[in-house]
Amino acid sequence: MGAQKSSSHGHDHRTDDNLLHLIADKERALEAQLTAAKAEAATLLEQARTHAEQIRERAGGQAATAAREQEQRVAADVARIQDELAGKGHREVETLKKQADQGQAKAVQLVVDRIVKGTPA
């Protein structure tokens, strides 16, 4: 059978399991978003490099310098976006983990109060 409700203290373990599944699902979704963002960023960077190379082939001197500068700006923007997405994803996962830890701590305290200390419901 799955998780069961304990009749002695009234805590539903299914709620804890659901919260853990929700956290795992959210973490997978954030990882998928981050992977997609990295892939998109890599594509954009490759397009920028290809475009910069085309410019370099057609022009010399100042045009080539401008193209390298543009490529560097795009690369810096891509890196910044990746960092922002990774940071946001990690912060969301940490928040969800903290919520799960708090829920688990409350459940443990409930068990201690009701079963160990014999406090009525």
Sign, CA torsion 7/8/9/12: negative
- Are 14 and 3 spatial neighbours (Cβ–Cβ below 8 Å)? yes
What averages of pLDDT result for each successive group of 10 residues across the chain (121 residues)?
A: 47 75 88 88 88 78 80 90 86 85 82 77 61
Cβ-based neighbours of 72, under 8 Å, separated by 6 or more: none
Domain ranges of the chain: 20-107
Looking up tokens 């690369």, which residue turns up? 75
Cβ-count burial 16-50 (b if 16+ within 10 Å, e if not):
beeeeeebeeebeebeeebeebeeebeeebeebee
N-terminal to C-terminal alpha carbon distance within the chain: 26
- Number of C-beta neighbours around residue 60 at 10 A: 9
